[in-house]
Amino acid sequence: MPTDRKPEFFKGAQLKVAIIGCGYVGLPLALRFAEAGHKVTGFDTDPHKVSLLNAGKSYIDHIPQTKIQQFVNSRHFGATNDFAKLKEADAILICVPTPLNEYREPDLSYVEETAKSIQPHLQKGQLVVLESTTYPGTTEELVLPILEKSGLRCPIATGPEAENIAGDFFVAFSPEREDPGNKQFGLAQIPKVVGGVNSPSGRAAQALYAQVVARVVPVSTTRAAEMAKLLENIFRCVNIALVNELKMLCLRMRVDVWEVIDAASSKPFGFMPFYPGPGLGGHCIPVDPFYLSWKAREYDFATRFIELAGEVNVAMPYHVVDSVAAALNEHKKSLKGSKILVLGVAYKKDVDDLRESPTLKIMEILQKRGAEFDYNDPYFPQLHKMRHYDYSHMKSVPLTPEALGKYDAVLIATDHSSYDYGVIVDASKLVVDTRNATRRVIRNRNKIVLC
């Protein structure tokens, strides 16, 4: 392996690319690099995932098995849990989770352990890029010091005077922008923001990603790249909180909030529609505001606006359960002891992704308040144990008219396209709709409660 690499090296053909973390972010990225002709190795601590990938099988619904099989067969992609093989890589990309702990504080244990796994195998001339969403300063303050325990150095430097600064290896941050299930914008079409700890690192990362995405957007530092990712998702979080709060006001005022949003959307400038729901889900939007507000305290700065948005969104699952209780009360039933069918556990429609799904919190609250519940989700025949929840004993129940009629209420938590909402409303005693999924159902509107 050459040790005197320049950033331009990463423009080369058939690089050896290591992707650590073969989940919703890492696996599509690995396949994209393989598609571009590079030799890709996926690293994961889960031996079951490694076995499936090497057999050419997919465990993520929107990633076709044929695509994995194609690159496994052509020897452009393989998986391993042997981190010693990182020595062979030209570039190492970190795509591991960055969740919140039980106190809603950043949990960077996956990033830290990954950096520790790279450090004994780090080679001169390698490029290491963190893609996991995090607070500004993580790459410089956490990842880089761990890597430098190898004895190799990558100095932090910015500005014109740092243009040709020498380092033993390259370090950068490039936030993932994966949107599971989005058929309009795939990884190759989404611009990639890149920032290095020094100018050569930034240029090396730009050269690498330019081979797999249509446009690379360079920024001056890793901190700028880290903050850009937070801004993207906090923008969504704040606006979703706004419409969630507006929805609760509209319910009291007997105004249809979805009609209001549609009307406002007719304005061709100065407005972007956001839609209410049962709470935030996914790997970024529910998490990012808390990462920034936690880091801001280090600078004696209170992010009041962001924290308020977080409070509104965190409260939504409680609002949903209160709405179910109120709807049952109108039918002379109490929530305690009632049988509820929850439709959809995925965090958004038409994906097999449970990360931070508000449905999981709704189920927890229903359980604490004494309700009996089942769930149906075509993407999850059975649930598994998760970080904060254990519903591994539960299986998706059949969605038949006979089954629907046995429940005191049916709660639409995720509006999957495969659901026949007309049949659901006809067969159910009561439907509580958190997504306005029943908006086109004409019959039996008296059974539907929007919340």
Alpha-carbon dihedral of residues 202, 208, 213, 216, nearest 10 degrees?
20
Is the predicted pLDDT of residue 181 greater than 90, yes or no?
no
198 and 167 Cβ atoms separated by less than 8 Å = yes
CA distance linking residue 414 with residue 284, whole number of Å: 18
Is the predicted pLDDT of residue 284 greater than 70, yes or no?
no
Average pLDDT, whole number, for the chain?
93
pLDDT value, residue 103: 79
The domains found in the chain, sorted by start residue, are 8-220 (3.40.50.720), 236-450 (3.40.50.720)
The bridge status of strand 170-173 relative to strand 192-196 is antiparallel
The bridge status of strand 91-94 relative to strand 216-218 is unpaired
In sequence order, which residues have a C-beta less than 8 Å from that of residue 160 and are 6 or more positions away?
none
Q: Give the residue-averaged pLDDT of 141-163.
A: 88
pLDDT in tens, 5-44: 899 999 988 999 999 999 999 999 999 999 999 999 999 9
Lowest mean pLDDT among 64-73, 147-156, 161-170: 161-170
- Please report the DSSP string for 176-210 in residue order: ----TT-SSS-GGGS-EEEEESSHHHHHHHHHHHT
pLDDT value, residue 179: 75
Helix (H), strand (E) at residue 451: none
Quick one: pLDDT band at residue 161, thresholds 50, 70, 90?
Answer: low
Residue 2 has phi, psi (to 5 degrees) of -65, 140
Burial of 302 (C-beta count, 10 Å sphere; 0-12/13-18/19+) = exposed
- Give the pair of three-digit tokens for residue 200: 């050569």
- Of 271, 379, 361, 362, the closest CA to residue 325 belongs to 362
For residue 380, give the 3-state DSSP assignment. Answer: coil
pLDDT in tens, 119-132: 999 999 999 999 99
CA distance linking residue 66 with residue 249, whole number of Å: 48
Going by the DSSP 8-state scheme, the letter that residue 171 receives in this structure is: E
pLDDT in tens, 56-89: 999 988 899 999 999 999 999 999 999 999 999 9
For residue 437, give the 3-state DSSP assignment. Answer: coil
Quick one: pLDDT band at residue 118, thresholds 50, 70, 90?
Answer: very high
* Bridge partners (DSSP) listed for residue 19: 42, 93
Active site residue ranges: 284
pLDDT value, residue 133: 92
pLDDT in tens, 417-427: 999 999 999 99
Quick one: pLDDT band at residue 2, thresholds 50, 70, 90?
Answer: low
Is the predicted pLDDT of residue 163 greater than 90, yes or no?
no
Q: Kindly report whether the global pTM for this prediction surpasses the value 0.75.
A: yes
Q: Give the residue-averaged pLDDT of 322-328.
A: 97
For residue 412, give the 3-state DSSP assignment. Answer: strand
* Bridge partners (DSSP) listed for residue 92: 18, 128
pLDDT value, residue 288: 81
Is the predicted pLDDT of residue 303 greater than 80, yes or no?
yes
382 and 394 Cβ atoms separated by less than 8 Å = yes
CA distance linking residue 65 with residue 81, whole number of Å: 21
Going by the DSSP 8-state scheme, the letter that residue 130 receives in this structure is: E
279 and 355 Cβ atoms separated by less than 8 Å = no
pLDDT value, residue 277: 94
pLDDT value, residue 102: 79
319: how many CB neighbours lie within 10 A of its CB? 20
413 and 358 Cβ atoms separated by less than 8 Å = yes
pLDDT value, residue 283: 65
Is the predicted pLDDT of residue 157 greater than 90, yes or no?
no
Go through the chain and tell me how many residues it has: 451
CA distance linking residue 337 with residue 349, whole number of Å: 29
